Structure 1
Amino acid sequence: MNVISCLKWLPKSYTYADFFQSYIHCTDEDASELDLDEEEEVQRDEITDEFDLDNYDGDDIPGEQFFTLSNSDEKLIIEDPEDVEVAAFPLALEVVPNLPNYAPLVAAGTYESQIDLWDMRQIDRLDPVMTLGSKKKSQKESHKDAVQCLSNSAHVVQLMASGSADKTVKFKRKDRGRACFKRVQVQVVQFSPFDASLLLTASFDQTAALCDIRVCKGKTSVTLDSEVESAVWKDVNNIVISMESGSVVQYDIRNEKKLWQLQAHKKACSSVQLVDDIMVTCGLDSKAKVYKITGGTPTKLASKDLNSGPLFNVTGSPDDKHLMGFGGEQLVLWDLDTIENLDSML
């Protein structure tokens, strides 16, 4: 059985002609022999596409899949995916878009203790272009157990945080790294999009904490009533956390105050995503739910059984904010604009 363990969108800007060079030019025909009309047609076709990247665990063969999406008569068409085998089962993905001297990269955290970065222009390479925290590096720079979560800083493109089953959070700047602090097995790391110095972490001891990366010291901590599944920043002062109990909760980090808590799913709420005034959740009950989160306690707008087994993640398209991708036994897309009377309910 294939299971999508993590899911990331690649922006539409990545889909210019010849982006995936190694696939386009893998035939015996040299690319230079394409006539102008054919090249223009390729560009016209690809510029309308979006690429969705997910990792899956199936038949004991770990790998990455690349899905091409295109619009036709107001319908989304998903073409057959390209499969790329990787060395170990993936647990986390992060897009690294602007690293100097490199094409866009995707970082993969796996059951191995290192982080592999793959060149998106050469997706059929046998080896990653860079490895962070490899076994050849100092033990202080490397994790000793599975890398369970990754976050790339929006403010410093060369800075990445990783959380591991070895109970540490580490920061890596290109091929250098250092441990920040120790916790119970780390499930979540998320750089603040609003403050370059803050990192949100959460672990299996039912706590979430903020770390000031300038001094590698905890700044705020909250205790929850269940193990953390995922967590995101709502704004500069608020975080939203989903839990194994199926609950979702919002905290104000200034005073560690709980603002609301709701029971979103009967089983674990595995992932939560925020888009403007909308919160989208998914769970191991195979359901996806949409809430309005202005004011006090969220108001449910829609619920749907996606019929894809347990759902492990939800993430929104960077080019179409209401287009959601869900990972379970297969990739599922839900355009929130298809929800009846969505605008009026918001």
Structure 2
Amino acid sequence: MISAIAWVRKGAAKETPKKFEMDEHEYARLSEKLLTARADLDSAQNMQDPTEQMQVDSEPIDPDLAEFDLENYDAPASTNTDPAIQDEDEDEAQGSSASIFGNLRGLTYHGSNQEDPYVTLKDEADTEAAEEEAQDLRILPSDNLILSARTEDDISHVEVYVYEAADDNLYVHHDLMLPAFPLCVEWLGSAPSSSSSLTQGSFVAVGTFDPEIEIWDLDVMDAMYPVAILGEKTSPAPPGPGPKKGKRSKKTLGPAISSTHHTDAIMSLAWNTAHPHLLASSSADTTVKLWDLNSSTCAHSFNHHTGKVQTVAWNPVQSTVLLTASYDRSVQCLDSRTPDTLTTFSLSSDPETARWDPHQPAHFYVATEDGIVRAWDLRQPSSPLWTLHAHDSPVSALDINPRIPGCLVTGGVDKLVKIWDIADGKPSMVLSRDLGAGKVFTAAFCPDAPQHLAVAGSQGRLNVWDMSGNPGARRAFGSRATWSSEPAQEEKNPIALADADQDMDSDDEGNEALDPMGDDSAEDV
């Protein structure tokens, strides 16, 4: 499945991405992380209850198996009877174990002789292959990137797609492996660096079920480790004395709240384009945090919600105004400079997502689990401007077209994607489609081309749809839209790239998938 997507503007990516190289700096950084991971493992083993270990050690051994010494089955055998030589063997075994992470510099893999610095004779075939590969990896200034958080067979990664609108071409350029199921992705134009300052470029922040935020460099291929981790775990403290005998230890309900890092899954991320050093995050631990990318530390933690915080979003004009939507069935609006002043908006169901209107910065829209979309004016919190029953299932995807005023898209668990005209304050459906994405989890308009819409969901494939070819869309938005290219005269199937091994005739629950552009799945109003 694909749980989140994000567009990258044209020209933001480096034209020729570089391949990851294990230099001295990367070697030292990776070695430090591996040693920390090993220390965490040792600490976790040391925290085991001694009484449990004693019980394991005191288990009787079957007399018939005692002669085989199975407990030491994997220990290296020594044929020497000299005690001094046996001690040397043991030291060598311990040394090889201790240096298990010490040979990283000798594991460099080169795709061809052209890349191997130790091969001095470069043949013509390798040179041509290297040039062809470099041309294939080139990202043109006219190309958009789409970041897709995909999980398949318990393996999660961010796929970096290249979308060539002129040729209707969509392909995976490279991917990034993730440690846990991803819930959100956010493109960043800057990221932390070792010099305690921001590095300009193209990056992605990823929130997962883990309470950490990973930031990856999109201009580096085959990277082994993110450039930064916000709220990174520290080694656990050594175990202290247990509870006194006869007294019951208190159990905490849910994760403890910390002012320096999240303690539960990261639900949403929002980069502040006006203040590039600020990144906002919301979490299932009920907190919202502001991260200072200059120092990779938490600058402020907000605790104004009592339930999981599903969405966080910066106002497109008032760059210090933050919108948060929570499972406590409320939406809160605050100014990060005066966080104690809150404006509260009540909901009838749990929120799925929320978006500001870039054309009317005082307006925002909230989609909820009961299939309802509500429009609110920040200055009138008492009641919504309008209420729309958009789907008969949870509205799991919502976005506002940044280039066409009044154009809104919703996607639901009912597998439908709907385009709405909300310009006059009376929402009307323009068209409805089943794009073959399965249950729709995410949908986003392209920031450069108003007619391009990316949709993904439970089927695990990314769809890019040019809605300008639909007559209903042309009639509804033709006078307001400034198309980035000549509008299509007839509607085309959405561009999609799917796994060749995936059965595209059925969704993840075994139900038949409708024809993406068939009569049974299309409805124009």
Question: Scaled by the length of structure 2, what TM-score is found?
Answer: 0.61
Of 145, 149, 159 in structure 2, the residue corresponding to residue 51 of structure 1 is: 145
2:187 maps to which residue?
Answer: 95
Partner of residue 258, structure 1: 384
* Amino acid across the alignment from 1:203: S
CA positional deviation for 1:241: 0.7
Higher Rg of the two aligned structures: 2
Residue type matched to 2:228 in 1?
M
After the TM superposition, which of the residue ranges 81-90 and 278-287 deviates more from structure 2?
81-90
| 1:246 and 2:366 are equivalent in the alignment | no
The residue that corresponds to 1:165 in the other structure is 284
Could you tell me which residue of structure 1 aligns to residue 342 of structure 2? 219
Alpha-carbon distance between aligned partners in 1 of 2:387 and 2:278, rounded to the nearest angstrom: 33
Partner of 1:127: 225
2:322 corresponds to which of 199, 222, 230: 199
Tell me, in whole angstroms, the C-alpha distance in 2 between the residues paired with 1:334 and 1:239. 25
Q: CA deviation at 1:299?
A: 1.1
For the aligned residue pairs, the C-alpha RMSD in angstroms reads 2.7
User: What CA distance in whole angstroms lies between the structure 1 residues aligned with 2:178 and 2:377?
Assistant: 40
Gaps of 5+ in 2: 22-109, 117-126, 192-197, 236-256, 478-525
Deviation at 1:50, TM superposition (A): 2.0
Q: Is the 8 A contact 1:92 1:148 kept in 2?
A: yes
Asked if the contact 1:261/1:297 (under 8 Å) is kept, the reply is no
Partner of 1:154: 273
Aligned equivalents of 1:15 and 1:103: distance in 2?
Answer: 7
For residues 137 and 201 of structure 2, the distance between their equivalents in structure 1, rounded to whole angstroms, comes to: 19
**Cα 1:168/1:16, change in 2 over 3 Å:** closer
Quick check: 1:179 aligned with 2:311?
no
In the TM superposition, residue 217 of structure 1 has moved relative to its aligned partner by: 2.2
Distance 2:11 2:445 in 1: 16
Which residue is 2:332 aligned to? 209
SS of 2:474's partner is helix
8 A Cα contact 2:7 2:447, kept in partner: yes
SS in 2 for 1:53: strand
Name the structure where strand makes up a greater proportion of residues.
1
1:249-328 equivalences under 5 Å are: 249-256=374-381, 257-275=383-401, 276-328=405-457
Q: Deviations over 1:71-113 (max 9, x none)?
A: 45xx511224533321111111111113432432100011111
Secondary structure of 1:145 counterpart: coil
CA distance in 2, matches of 1:21, 1:84: 13
Q: Within 2, Cα distance between the matches of 1:69 and 1:231?
A: 26
| Alignment correspondent of 1:67 | 161
SS for the counterpart of 2:12 is: helix
What SS does structure 2 have at the residue aligned with 1:79?
strand
**Cα deviations across residues 264-303 of structure 1 (Å, max 9, x unaligned)?**
1111111111112200111111110001111122111110
The alpha-carbon deviation at position 62 of structure 1 amounts to 1.1
Which amino acid counterpart does residue 274 of structure 2 have in structure 1? H
Alignment of 1:138-149 (within 5 A): 139-149=258-268
Q: Is the 8 A contact 1:20 1:120 kept in 2?
A: no
Residue in 2 that maps onto 1:229: 352
1:133-190 alpha-carbon deviations (Å, 9 max, x no partner): 1123994210011111111112100101111110111111111213122411100000
In the alignment, is residue 17 of structure 1 matched against residue 15 of structure 2? yes
- Structure 2 CA distance, aligned partners of 1:226 and 1:326? 24
How many pairs are equivalent?
341
Specify the SS of the correspondent of 1:14.
coil
Work out which of the residue numbers 333, 336, 343 in structure 1 matches 2:474.
343
- CA contact 2:146–2:160 (8 Å) conserved in 1: yes
* Displacement after TM superposition at 1:123 (Å): 3.8
Q: Distance in 2 between matches of 1:144 and 1:40?
A: 42
Q: Pick which of 308-317 and 48-57 moved more.
A: 48-57
Contact kept, 8 Å, 2:159 with 2:172, in 1: the verdict is no
Counterpart CA distance in 1 for 2:12 and 2:466 is: 21
| Bigger mean CA offset, 223-232 vs 6-15 | 6-15
Distance in 1, Cα, partners of 2:139 & 2:158: 23
> Residue type of the partner of 1:162?
S
Shift of 1:60: 0.6
Flag the 1:303–1:28 CA change in 2: closer, same or farther, 3 A. farther
- The 8 Å contact of residues 91 and 148 in structure 1, kept in 2 or not, is answered as yes
Q: Percent identity?
A: 27
Once residues 84 and 40 of structure 1 are traced to their aligned partners in structure 2, the CA distance between those partners, rounded to angstroms, is 19
Provide the C-alpha distance between the structure 1 equivalents of 2:395 and 2:264, rounded to a whole number of angstroms.
25
The amino acid of 2:278's aligned partner reads L
1:195 Cα offset (Å): 0.4
Pairwise CA distance, 1:19: 2.9
1:95–1:106 contact (8 Å) kept in structure 2: yes
Aligned with 1:29 (options 107, 114, 134): 114
Q: Distance in 1 between matches of 2:450 and 2:20?
A: 30
